[in-house]
Amino acid sequence: MRLPPAIINNTEEVLREILRFTGPADGTLSRYFRDHPKLGSRERGVVAEAVYGLLRNKAVYTSFAESGNGPTMRRMTLLGLADAVGVEALGGLTEEETEWLNHVMQIDRTLLPSLLRSNMPEWLFEKLVARDGEATALELAHAVNQPAPLDLRVNAIKATREDVITALAEAPILCEPTPYAPLGIRIIKKPALQNLPLFKNGSIEVQDEGSQLLSQIVGAKRGEMVVDFCAGAGGKTLSLGAAMRNTGRLYAFDISEKRLAKLKPRLARSGLSNVHPVQIAHENDAKVKRLAGKIDRVLVDAPCSGLGTLRRNPDVKWRQTPQSLVELNEKQASILAGAARLVKAGGRLVYATCSILDEENEAIVAGFLASRDDFVLIPMSEVLAEQKIDLKMDDYLKLSPALHHTDGFFAAVLERKK
């Protein structure tokens, strides 16, 4: 079935705005769809798929768009749409455009230069090649260039994984248990979850398997005092609260009132009553200082480049710069130092990011340990064994989209000496 020619104009219009990279692509798309209510769900799906395909393959498409005639933005748009739905589904093409599209779609992309194939900015690809070698860097680039699956976490205070899998099968929704996270379920195709009774009653939450593992290595237990230091919209907060079996006290700190507001409806569905959302001004807020030395476990999921989430947010690689990384590194070190104050003797501090870059990960931990002789690194191999997670790691948790099929995550577990 052919798409109406207007789809090309819609896609080009929203793409023009997204490629300015003034904000996250998903927010720009949502706003565009709100402003154009006449677009049906199929049309919205096609526009979104074309936009995300183009963000994933921007380097290749920019190169291809340099051939052919007419405005470059239209050619970029046509490439995104052709990849999403095929050339034959596009209405309103000139004969020349059809011929050009058919030609470029047949180019063997494996023969392109490695930087183009990576579809990454040059500074990022060079950094990965310097660290891992070209072959491994290309494997990672290929992995982050695939759309992410949809992972769910079962809320253990409301259901078991087996029960949820059975209920999903009846829906019918194809799914399978995640290989590492004991409460994770991977959905094979992406259904509308918000209409499911399981979602409405809080039995399931959307959470990447890697993020579930981060919550698990915190090791939060019944009756403890725990802080999720950069809680955001609360995915990890909810999994920590369930791990604590709804006992003890769990503080969800964040500087953003908007993000904490998103936690409220999720919290209501979850059935948790041990969670206390707290807005703080910064890592040295008086509300933080009041809890100094009292907390059993602190999770710092630090603000980072987000380069581990490229499967979901491909625009991130084009929005980050070497300079923005330097600013992030200063913030990461400061937040880790601020959060460390909370930890009591014998307590644990988990530093984590969704980044794949050493300067946001090992370097921040090494800097912290060099300045603090009252904290020691607990090897991740020990932590994973404690939690009965079947993953081979050394000192740190390093999850890779290429190896583990999760988002890219890093974590280090630090313990305050008794």
Q: Has 228 been labeled as part of a binding site?
A: no
One-letter amino acid of 27: G
Single out the residue of 167, 137, 127, 75 nearest to residue 325, CA to CA.
127
196 dihedral zone (left: phi>0; alpha: psi -120 to 50; beta): beta
Q: Is 301 annotated as a binding residue?
A: yes
| Half-sphere exposure for 23 (CA within 13 Å, toward CB) | 8
Active site residue 304: no
* Given the residues 175, 230, 304, 354, the one annotated as active site: 354
Q: Which of 252, 202, 203, 243 lies closest to 223, judged by CA?
A: 243
Answer whether 321's CB lies under 8 Å from 252's CB. Answer: no
Angle between helical axes of 362-371 and 322-340 (0-180°, round to 10): 40
Can you list the pairs that 189-192 forms with residues at least 24 positions away whose Cβ atoms lie under 8 Å? Answer: 190/150
Query: Do residues 297 and 217 touch, judged by C-beta distance below 8 A?
Result: no
**Which of the residues are catalytic?**
354
Residue numbers in the known binding site for S-adenosyl-L-methionine are 254, 301
